[in-house]
Structure formats: structure tokens, C-alpha cells
Amino acid sequence: MYDITFLQGILSVISGILVGFSLGLIGGGGSILAIPLLIYLVGYDHPHIVIGTTALAVGINAYLNLIPHAKKNNVNFRIGVLFSIIGVIGVMIGAQLGLITPGKKLLFLFAIVMIIIAVYMYRRKCSTNTNEKPIRKPNYYLLILYAFLVGFASGYFGIGGGFMIVPSLMYGAGLNILNAIGTSLVSVGTFGITTAIRYSFNGKINLIITVLYILGGIAGGWVGAHFAHKVSRTRLTKIFAVIIIIVAIYMIYENITAFF
């Protein structure tokens, strides 16, 4: 179960490159493909191990990407740590429920979430204004609620949750888009690592695939970032959202028997 073939190792690196490339190119959403790529491209059909493994890879990558944002003073660590502490409670509850949910049923529900994410990505406007003022003053009651809900979803499905964290920080903490993106990486990393730790207690992590995913993600992220300013982010985001929906529909088709 935990061993992989040489071909699967190569495909794991390629999957990491694809995830990193999409993240570097459009700035979000790429990690949502980490799970289906590992299952359907790499051929590693062990849903709970896949979730634990990708959660670890996403968490480490988030911490690595946090460094350049922090150097540019785009990270509000006070808000980021608060969001993470509250969110971890939700992560632990979500991860526990995820572990006891049958694999195919979990993938089916995950596919539904993918479609929701894709619709959000398709409809949102990609802001490039780095001088935006905060939307409003921090509402800590709202921020705490967002943190718990996002943490729960992150733990249950094993995703970074950046697409949910960024708007939560904007409307709950009053951060502008640039600071929200940088600050979100604190929570994305924390949620991913926390989910991975919980899954590791049940032996649901493949460290070899994690390393290969990270290596591929670093390379893909660099290439994606290189081209990010040469193409239309709005158009690419819409195309990427359509791809996510297609993959999600296929996952629903593959796992719908879990409910019948």
C-alpha cells in the first residue's frame, strides 16, 4: 500500500509540477487538484492516505511560500496566528470525521466541494491592485466563526483552504487582498500540517509521495510565477475552474456508488 513504482514516482513529480504551476500562475486553487491527480493520474487509489499525504505536501509548500510574502511585509502574523489557533480546533474535528468516512463517500463529497470552489473561482474578479485599503475594521466574532468553519472543511477534505481563508481574512479581519493572501499562508500551512499529523496517527501518510509532490510543486511554482505576468489571470482562472468542474464530474461518476 505504501510502496510506489518508479512510474508512479515520476507521475507524482509531474502531478506536483501541475499543482505548483497552477498555484504560481493564477495564485490559488491548484491544491484542489492534488487529490484527484494522485488518485487518477498516479494511480494511487487509497483515499485516506492520499488525503493525509497531500495535506502534508500542501502544508509544507504553504510555509515555504510564506517566506517571500513575509519579507515583503504582506503577512499580519497576529491575525494569522489567531485564525490558525481557532481553525485548528475545526481541523481536528474535521480530520477525525474524515478518517471514519468511507473513502468513496469522502471522494464524492470532495467532488461536490470542488464544483463549489470552481464556481467561486469562475465568478470572482482577479484583483491586481496591491494598494487596496482594508474593507472594514476587524470583526473578531466573525473571524473566529470563519476560522472554525474553514478549519473544519480543511481537516475533513484535506485541502489547504486558501480560497476560503483569503475572503475570510478580508471580511473578518479587514485585510486588503495582498495582505490576506500573504496572511492566509500561515493558516494554510498550519491546517495542512495539523491534518497530516492526525492522519499520521493512523498511518495514513506516504512520505515518499509527499517529498516528490513538494519537489515538483517548487519547480512548477517557479515556472508558473514566471509566466504569471505575461498572460491574463482572469481568463486562465476561468479555464482552470472549468477543468476543476470536469475533474469533479468524473470523480462523482466514479464514486456515486458509495451512496447506492
Tens of pLDDT, residue by residue over 39-69, are 999 999 899 999 999 999 988 888 888 888 8
* pTM for this prediction: 0.83
Instruction: Indicate the number of domains in the chain.
Output: 1
Residue 39 in domain = yes
Residue 132 in domain = yes
Q: How many whole angstroms separate alpha carbon 228 and alpha carbon 206?
A: 31
Residue 215 in domain = yes
Q: How many whole angstroms separate alpha carbon 44 and alpha carbon 102?
A: 16
Containing structural domain, residue 221: 6-259
Assess contact for 58 and 192: CB atoms under 8 A: yes
pLDDT tens per residue across span 183-193: 988 998 999 99
pLDDT of residue 96 exceeding 90: yes
Range among 94-98, 126-130, 239-243 with highest mean pLDDT value: 94-98
Grid cell listed for 145: 466563526
Residue 1 in domain = no
Residue 222 in domain = yes
